[in-house]
Structure 1
């Protein structure tokens, strides 16, 4: 479940609701690519902008369309009560795993976060992935806290932020975390620009934004790294530098991927919840040029 390419698709939407047909097309594209798992309603899936009812419906569509491919769904919410409700909703529609970020309005302490995971893992019956994403949650995990949480029941993976660009430093970071977690808990890298480095450093999974739209390209790089061909995985990642540059220059990956999904006609415009917007003008033209140049699929 928590190995290989876990592809995180966009949840296309406008102010009237989720575009279910567009979301179905995106999930079907992942099925055709035979990704290892599908991460619905991640940050790229705009989970925080959706109602409880909408989130359960998106999870249901993902499960129905995914067939034999396991679906993981984010259950992040500000209040523990709501997280537990979302976990129950997701399990009712048949997800195979849950993804939990520590969301907050008030700044969280380590004990707050531990108590959240403790409460959730005491009330679920499918594996859980710890979502370490300080860029959106603004909470910084430390290895001691990761170790405590990883020993809770049902925890199966930790989704870490991008590692160091320096291979030896990346490996040292993965090794430090590995030393404090149980053997059955996998480590998955996010931060697409450093995915190859993370996989080469010992991560077992890539929790991928670009994989949610361009799964074939992402899967080749994932499989190459996981079969031990670090040099080729690095080369493949360097070939994608124009895309990584877009992510850096445009304030992250979400708007770039949503714009690319519109350009490839997986969805219509608008595809993001206001006030978020996709790109127009020169930036949109640049995105179109990059995805054509790289022949992303």
Structure 2
């Protein structure tokens, strides 16, 4: 399950609770599109804003509606005790894997991060994907630390935050990390504007927010017949990537797109987060139509 397109849906809320009907529809939509796996409770899944009970319920719903597609559940939390409890909940829900970012308020050291993954992997019966997301966690993995963690039991993949824009540099970056980790551990790229470049550079997986929103569009890039075709399809979406950059990431844009398409009811984000309004919302609606994303 740690290759191909892993689609990450939002966790929509309604009146401050999980909108279970909408969430089920979103997950079924991904399964029907033929994604290779589904990543529930990632950053766009708003996991830090949900209680343990809400996260356990979201995990249950994702597995129940995935129609046999493997589901990976995010288990990141500030305290190791909570991470271990969330890992237990994910396994009880029938998850095929878990995704763990080193969440912190006080900056973590490399030894603390290694200790976190060491403790969690020793208590797992399913695979784990390392979530390297410095933009959110403010922790930067070294390749050497990735190499140490990749040796731990049950570590199956590393979700890196992107690759250099230049093709040769991207290939070198992936190769450098590949040399330090076991062959059994895959490398997956995130940051959707890096998706084509990452897979062209040798990443086995694309962990994609766009895949959780427009799966057919993302699958076309992930399964393109050539590197050139993948790059062309990705570059076609440049106005969309630029819009995401202007709004500080994918979350608000994704939530707004789902509202525009009628797939969720607004507001669907946990307060104080808000979807786009006014001219920004109008611009997104025009992009969806112009780029034929829906």
TM-score range, shorter chain: over 0.9
Does the alignment pair 1:174 with 2:174? Answer: yes
TM-score (norm 1): 0.98
Q: 1:249: how far off?
A: 1.2
Q: Deviations over 1:18-40 (max 9, x none)?
A: 11111111101101101000000
Q: Which residue of 2 aligns with 1:41?
A: 41
Q: SS of the residue aligned with 2:223?
A: helix
Does the alignment pair 1:291 with 2:288? Answer: yes
Contact 1:9 1:39 in 2 (8 A): yes
Distance 1:250 1:206 in 2: 22
Distance 2:40 2:289 in 1: 26
Q: Which residue of 2 aligns with 1:27?
A: 27
1:27-106 equivalences under 5 Å are 27-106=27-106
Does the alignment pair 1:234 with 2:226? Answer: no
Distance 2:199 2:6 in 1: 13
1:178-217 equivalences under 5 Å are 178-217=178-217
Does the alignment pair 1:259 with 2:259? Answer: no
Distance 2:22 2:279 in 1: 25
Distance 1:16 1:249 in 2: 27
* Unaligned runs of at least 5 residues, structure 2: none
Q: 1:95: how far off?
A: 0.2
Q: Which residue of 2 aligns with 1:141?
A: 141
Distance 1:97 1:26 in 2: 19
Distance 1:78 1:248 in 2: 27
Q: 1:251: how far off?
A: 1.2
Q: SS of the residue aligned with 2:146?
A: helix
Q: Which residue of 2 aligns with 1:118?
A: 118
Distance 1:16 1:222 in 2: 35
Q: 1:15: how far off?
A: 4.7
Q: Which residue of 2 aligns with 1:246?
A: 243
Contact 1:14 1:273 in 2 (8 A): no
Q: Which residue of 2 aligns with 1:5?
A: 5
| RMSD (Å), alpha carbons | 0.7
Q: 1:14: how far off?
A: 4.0
| Runs of 4+ off more than 4 Å | none
